[in-house]
Structure formats: C-alpha cells, structure tokens
C-alpha cells in the first residue's frame, strides 16, 4: 500500500524509526505541535493536508493520522476518496503509552502529570505556552512572558504568568516518555530541570510504540478507527474516543 501519513511533529522520533520498518510505502507530512494552541487552526491545517493529498496523489491507498482526538481538534475531519485511519487515542500521550487502558491508569493514578517527549523538549514546549494561555503561537514560557510584557505591561504580565501558570500548583509529576530509540540524555536532562524548577517529582516512563507501529504497518485492529471515504470523524464521548458518521443529507 501507499500510505500518506499526516503527523504531529511531537511523534517524529518514533515515526521516523518505525516508518523505515513498515512493509508499506510511507509518505510523510509533519505539522507543528504548536498548532495545538487553538483546536480550530489545527483541524483546518490537517484538513488542508488531507485535501492536498487527495488532489495531488492519485496512487494513495489511505491517509493515516499521527494524531489522537487531541482536544477535539481532529473531530470533523473528512476524506473524500480514500480511508482515513487514526488510533483511538485522546492524544499523543496515549499514543506513546501504547493503549487507552494504560493512559486511563496513569490518569487515574496521577492526574497531575506533565508529559515530556524528546520531540516536545527539543522543538520548544508548545503545550507549556498553550497552558499559559498564549494567544500567539508562542513555543515556550519565555516568549509567552515577553509577549505579555509587550502587550499589557510588566505588572500585568507578572500577574498573567501567575494566574495562567496556576495549574502548575496542581501538578505534581513531570514524566519523560522514553522511547529507547535514540540516546535522549539531553532532552531527558532538560525535562528533569523543567520538572524540578516547578517542584514536581520527576520520573521516566517507558513508551510502548505498538500503536505507532500498527498504524504504520497497516495493522488497523480494534485500536484504530477507519473512516470510510465521505464519512466524518467525530468524538464518540465514550471509551471508543472517536467514531465515523455518515454525512447528513441536506
């Protein structure tokens, strides 16, 4: 099969390794994780990629997504000509942990976990900026702060960092997702430092790359949703996380 992969750059390290092992031909388009700052631009951007692929690649057999539900950002996506496939996952943490069940266990045991991956540490911490309420595509805490000083003055900026950073008080763990694929000591140390400056405890958690491997190998079992051409991907609001619905007739 010829598979077109649209993937969040948060997953680049495992995807690059495992794509090489896939029995299928894989063409990759990676999108920046900083698009998560607002769900709508991310959805629009992924849809744009799907539309482009369908227009430009007559030989593609399926479009596979290196995304989960991602806060609802993938809800509403549709492909017209080929199947659209994605793991039944809330977000990339589920994808790194290898199953919905394992993520649910982690979430129940330690809801206050900030997850680090090699790619999010190296590419600038998009989620940190997002959680700090940045309206821009700021990639990290420093640029978010600078944006606020410029717009609202230092006094208000200090308040905003405190108010918007308040969630950090509710978190108690920084967890680095180890993939075992590349020596990631530099990223791991940076994650440890970011964790320790916030007063959280630091842990490393071993990834399980089964979901990514199955996605790339075309082994789309019950852990995946296959959206048929013309169907729309939507939230299922249950353990399935996502489902496909037929187009509503006007």
Partner 1 sequence: MADFERLQAAVEAGDRETAVQITEAAIDEGLDPHVILEPMTEAMGVIGDRFSRQEIFVPEMLISARAMKAAVALLEPLLIGSGHKPDKVAVLGTIRGDLHDIGKNLVGMMLKGANFEVVDLGTNTSAEAFLAAAREHEADLIGCSALLTTTMGNMREVIAAVAEADDMPDLRVIIGGAPVTLEFATQIGAHGWAPDAASAVHVATAVVATARGQRDLPGLIHPDALAANA
- Which residues sit at the interface with partner 1, rule CB under 8 A? 39, 69, 71-72, 90-91, 103-104, 107-108, 111-112, 131, 133, 135, 148, 151-152, 155-156, 159-160, 163-164, 166-167, 170-171, 235, 237-238, 241
User: Measured from the CB of residue 61, what is the shortest distance to partner 1 in angstroms?
Assistant: 29
Specify the residue, 140 or 217, whose C-beta has the smaller distance to partner 1: 140
Specify the residue, 39 or 124, whose C-beta has the smaller distance to partner 1: 39
Distance CA 75, CA 187 (A): 31
Nearest 5°: phi and psi at 3? Answer: -110, 130
User: Measured from the CB of residue 247, what is the shortest distance to partner 1 in angstroms?
Assistant: 16
Are 14 and 8 in contact by the 8 Å Cβ rule? The answer is no
Specify the residue, 237 or 250, whose C-beta has the smaller distance to partner 1: 237
User: Measured from the CB of residue 33, what is the shortest distance to partner 1 in angstroms?
Assistant: 17
Distance CA 33, CA 217 (A): 24
Specify the residue, 188 or 234, whose C-beta has the smaller distance to partner 1: 234
User: Measured from the CB of residue 164, what is the shortest distance to partner 1 in angstroms?
Assistant: 6
Beta strands 201-206 and 113-116, pairing class? unpaired
Nearest 5°: phi and psi at 27? Answer: -110, 130
Specify the residue, 62 or 130, whose C-beta has the smaller distance to partner 1: 130
User: Measured from the CB of residue 83, what is the shortest distance to partner 1 in angstroms?
Assistant: 23
Question: Could you tell me where the beta strands, DSSP code E, fall in 117-247?
Answer: 173-178, 201-206, 224-227, 232-235, 242-245
The two three-digit tokens of residue 18, written as one number = 């495992």
């Amino acid at each position: 099969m010829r598979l077109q992969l649209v993937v969040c750059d948060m997953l680049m390290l495992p995807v690059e390794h495992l794509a090489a092992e896939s029995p299928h031909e894989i063409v990759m388009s990676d999108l920046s994780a900083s698009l998560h700052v607002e769900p709508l631009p991310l959805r629009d951007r992924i849809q744009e990629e799907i539309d482009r692929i369908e227009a430009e690649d007559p030989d593609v057999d399926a479009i596979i997504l290196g995304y989960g539900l991602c806060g609802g950002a993938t809800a509403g996506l549709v492909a017209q000509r080929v199947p659209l496939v994605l793991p039944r996952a809330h977000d990339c943490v589920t994808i790194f942990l290898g199953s919905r069940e394992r993520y649910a266990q982690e979430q129940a045991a330690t809801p206050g976990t900030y997850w680090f991956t090699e790619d999010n540490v190296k590419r600038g911490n998009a989620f940190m900026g997002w959680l700090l309420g940045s309206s821009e595509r700021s990639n990290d805490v420093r640029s978010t702060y600078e944006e606020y000083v410029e717009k609202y003055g230092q006094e208000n900026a200090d308040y905003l960092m405190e108010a918007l950073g308040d969630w950090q008080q509710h978190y108690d763990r920084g967890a680095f997702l180890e993939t075992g694929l590349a020596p990631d000591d530099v990223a791991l140390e940076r994650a440890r430092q970011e964790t320790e400056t916030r007063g959280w405890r630091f842990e490393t958690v071993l990834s399980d790359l089964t979901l990514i491997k199955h996605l790339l190998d075309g082994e789309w079992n019950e852990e995946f949703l296959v959206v048929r051409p013309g169907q729309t991907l939507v939230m299922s609001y249950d353990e399935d996380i996502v489902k496909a619905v037929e187009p509503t007739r006007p």
